[in-house]
Amino acid sequence: MTQQGAVLQGYNNELVKCIEDLCMQKEELNKQIQQAEEEKNKLQHEIQVLSEQLECVCESLAQKVASRNELDKILAETEAAYMKILDSSRTLLNVLKKEVGSLKHSPDLKTN
């Protein structure tokens, strides 16, 4: 019976050691889980901050694009108006040259 008690005590000691090993593994796993959760929370916060920054940049970009489009429109209208002025000036110059040319050929303006 003493031998059976010793074997049982050996099994008990092994069982206690296995339980202790499992508890140590659980503690280590809990530490890893806690670290992973902290990293996850940190990353989620960074994502939130970056998302807010992205939203601000997108709004600013949209405003700048709208301003640029308005400036493009104004510039195109101004260039078109300027081209009309140039065309009118050219037409006026041609008319004036014809008038001056016909005046030179007029008998009233010929000098003696």
- The contacts of residue 109 (CB under 8 Å, 6+ apart) are 103
Q: Which pLDDT value is given to residue 43? A: 98
- The contacts of residue 103 (CB under 8 Å, 6+ apart) are 109
Q: Which pLDDT value is given to residue 60? A: 98
Local confidence pLDDT in tens for the 112 residues of the chain: 788 888 889 999 999 999 999 999 999 999 999 999 999 999 999 999 999 999 999 999 999 999 999 999 999 999 999 999 999 999 999 999 999 888 887 766 555 4
Amino acid letter, 9: Q
What pTM was computed for the model? 0.59
